[in-house]
Each structure stands twice: as structure tokens, then as C-alpha cells.
């Protein structure tokens, strides 16, 4: 696996000579058309393309420094992690791809403004920020498209977190993975709002990586997923271009439920939902029946992300007092 990834990285980066300290910042992103399943595990190549929207003000800031003659030091939210910590181990494995030699280590300071490993896309913003910090530290001056290839190795969804607004991650066709990258969709939608409804922000019992591979390997229903996901993406992209909120909301919600259906049909079953998650779904469906156009999407976790238009903000806040409202295009 490591040799495959190293060869991939060698085709992208010009050198491994650190010039200075590096800093990277990246937002979390919410997939409206989901990524679930890999056609190549080593290179994080997805079975289907995906489309997301980033959430400004929520994400990761990472400071990076190369130090000779010492091992890695990984700090998360100002706390030094032990070397056997899962987050620290995963970060160090990723950094192995970029080390100038084996005699030194990286000092990594990562600040997440969302809970880590709770289904709120912290890994996406985390590896996007780390890719940007590496680019700064080594002065590669790589364009975002190339950086999305590197971020993808850490977390597939990280390829989309390099961009503000809407982003499309192409699944690609090549075995070498060089055509599986994300790019910005140059469309703004100032009226679009995202509501974060946190049900449980503790660490998930099954990681997204493990969950999706279990689904691919042990769910008979999964065979129908890639084609449906590609069709949903086209509908969502079209909805963005036309600013058709009903089509966007309906397709996004159905796409999320279809993804979770494959998890539930896996053996052993994978169910990230909690009773409060289901209660919130019923509340959303009731609101829609009463004329409030609100939809939801969910990643691999119990938390819901509400989709609605700015005109309905007060109604949403009245029914979900704890919701955190995000305006992805507030500066547009």
C-alpha cells in the first residue's frame, strides 16, 4: 500500500525539501451526493463521483514544521497525543509519504472547530488543511486540483474541502488515480442555508473507512448504489445550475437515505442513527407536510444537516432551537 501511494505522490510533488513552516486552513464540507465505497482502497479511489458544499467558519487550521532528529509530535486542539492514539497514527502514516528522510519528524498542530470523528466531516477539513500546510512548508506551489489528489490519500472527502462553495469530486477512470480529483463548481446560491443538528458528537463506534468497506464487501444491495449515486449527482448539479431547491432537497435527502440503507442492509448491520435522529427526521417530514420546504442529509453518523432557504430560517429555529445555521454563500 505504502509503495503504491509513494509512487502516486512522486508523480505530483516536485521535491521533499522543507523550506519553512507551513500553515493550512480548510472548511468542512457536506456531501449532497454522497461518496460511499472505494474501487481502489490504497489510492482512495471512489466507486462514484460526489458533490458537496463547504461550510465557512467550520473546519481545520493546521500548523506544520519539519524538525531534524526527532519523532513526530501530533497536537490536536492544543493537546499532545500519545504515539498510539488513532488520530496521531493515521496522521503520521500520511506524513510518511512526504518525509525528506527518516531521521526527523513533523510537529503538527491541528485545531478543529468541529468535533473529531463524529460524522461532521473533520477528517475532510483535516487532510485538506494538512495538504495545504505541506504545500506551504515545502513551497511546492501546487494548484488546488493537484493538492486535491494528495488530500484524497488521507481522506477521500478531503479532496472537496480545498474549495469554498460547491465542489465536485470526479471518481475518475484511470487505475493510477490521476483523474480522480475535485474541482470547484462556479455557482453561488446566497439563499441556501445549512442547519447543523447535532444529535451526538462523540466518536463513532465504526469509522467511515471501515463502515464503507464493510458495506461494499457484505451488502447485496450495494451493487445498485454507484449508478444511483451518479444519477443523483447529475440531478443535484442541474438543480444548482437552475436554483431548483425542491429538486436539490429531494434528491439530496433520498441520496443520503439510500446510502444509509446499504449500511443497514450490511451484515453485521451498520446503523449510525440514534432515536433522536429518527425523531428529527419525522419532525422534518411533518414540517414539509405543513408547507415548510426543509430537507435533510446525513453522513456516516447520527447528526443531521438541514437544507432550507433563508426565508424559512425563523421557522427552522423555532422547531429546532439548538440548530446551528450556516450560510455557505454569505459573502456572495
Query: Are the beta carbons of 209 and 156 closer than 8 angstroms?
Result: no
Separation CA 281–CA 306 (nearest Å): 10
What is the SS3 assignment for 167?
strand
Whether residue 235 is predicted with pLDDT greater than 90 in this model: the reply is yes
pTM above threshold 0.75: yes
Domain 195-326: homologous superfamily in CATH = GHMP kinase, C-terminal domain (3.30.70.890)
289-303 pLDDT, tens digit each? 999 999 999 999 999
Segment 96-104 shows an average pLDDT of 94
Strands annotated E in 216-303: 295-297
CB atoms within 10 A of CB 207: 15
Domain(s) labelled CATH 3.30.70.890 in the chain stretch across 195-326
Separation CA 258–CA 228 (nearest Å): 9
Cell readout for 41 is 482502497
Segment 87-115 shows an average pLDDT of 93
- Lowest model confidence (mean pLDDT) among 112-121, 284-293, 307-316: 112-121
What pLDDT score was predicted for residue 208?
87
130-186 pLDDT, tens digit each? 999 999 999 999 999 999 999 999 999 999 999 999 999 999 999 999 999 999 999
Domain(s) labelled CATH 3.30.230.10 in the chain stretch across 2-184
64-97 pLDDT, tens digit each? 999 999 999 999 999 999 999 999 999 999 999 9
296 phi/psi in degrees, rounded to 5: -140, 160
- Which residue shows C-alpha cell 456516516? 300
What pLDDT score was predicted for residue 115?
61
What pLDDT score was predicted for residue 116?
54
Report which of 325, 299, 328 is spatially closest to residue 313, judged by C-alpha positions: 325
128: left (phi over 0), alpha (psi -120 to 50) or beta: alpha
Whether residue 332 is predicted with pLDDT greater than 60 in this model: the reply is no
Separation CA 169–CA 48 (nearest Å): 9
pLDDT greater at residue 55 or residue 2:
55
- Which residue shows C-alpha cell 405543513? 290
Cell readout for 123 is 477528517
For CA atoms 9, 12, 15, 18, give the dihedral sign.
negative
Classify 2-184 by CATH class: alpha beta
Amino acid at each position: 500500500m505504502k509503495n503504491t501511494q509513494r509512487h502516486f505522490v512522486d508523480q505530483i510533488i516536485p521535491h521533499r525539501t522543507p523550506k519553512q513552516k507551513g500553515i493550512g486552513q480548510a472548511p468542512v464540507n457536506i456531501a449532497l451526493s454522497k461518496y460511499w465505497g472505494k474501487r481502489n482502497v490504497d489510492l482512495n479511489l471512489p466507486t462514484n463521483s460526489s458533490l458537496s458544499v463547504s461550510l465557512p467558519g467550520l473546519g481545520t487550521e493546521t500548523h506544520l514544521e519539519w524538525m531534524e532528529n526527532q519523532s513526530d509530535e501530533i497536537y490536536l486542539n492544543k493537546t499532545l497525543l500519545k504515539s498510539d492514539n488513532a488520530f496521531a497514527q493515521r496522521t503520521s502514516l500520511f506524513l510518511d509519504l512526504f518525509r525528506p528522510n527518516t531521521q526527523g519528524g513533523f510537529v503538527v498542530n491541528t485545531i478543529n472547530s468541529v468535533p473529531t470523528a463524529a460524522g461532521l466531516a473533520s477528517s475532510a477539513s483535516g487532510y485538506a488543511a494538512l495538504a495545504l500546510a505541506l504545500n506551504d512548508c515545502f513551497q511546492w506551489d501546487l494548484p488546488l486540483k493537484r493538492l486535491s489528489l494528495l488530500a484524497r490519500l488521507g481522506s477521500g472527502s478531503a479532496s472537496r474541502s480545498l474549495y469554498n462553495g460547491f465542489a465536485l469530486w470526479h471518481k475518475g477512470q484511470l487505475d493510477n488515480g490521476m483523474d480522480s480529483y475535485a474541482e470547484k463548481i462556479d455557482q453561488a446560491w446566497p439563499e441556501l442555508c445549512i442547519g447543523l443538528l447535532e444529535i451526538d458528537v462523540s466518536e463513532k463506534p465504526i469509522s467511515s473507512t471501515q463502515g464503507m468497506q464493510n458495506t461494499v464487501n457484505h451488502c447485496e444491495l450495494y451493487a445498485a448504489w454507484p449508478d444511483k449515486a451518479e444519477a443523483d449527482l447529475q440531478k443535484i448539479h442541474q438543480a444548482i445550475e437552475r436554483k431548483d431547491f425542491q429538486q436539490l432537497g429531494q434528491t439530496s435527502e433520498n441520496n443520503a437515505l439510500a446510502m444509509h440503507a446499504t449500511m443497514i442492509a450490511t451484515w453485521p448491520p451498520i446503523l449510525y442513527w440514534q432515536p433522536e435522529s429518527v425523531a428529527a427526521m419525522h419532525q422534518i417530514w411533518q414540517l414539509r407536510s405543513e408547507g415548510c420546504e426543509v430537507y435533510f442529509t446525513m453522513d456516516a453518523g447520527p447528526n443531521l444537516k438541514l437544507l432550507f432557504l433563508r426565508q424559512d430560517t425563523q421557522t427552522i429555529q423555532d422547531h429546532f432551537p439548538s440548530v446551528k445555521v450556516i450560510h455557505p454563500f454569505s459573502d456572495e
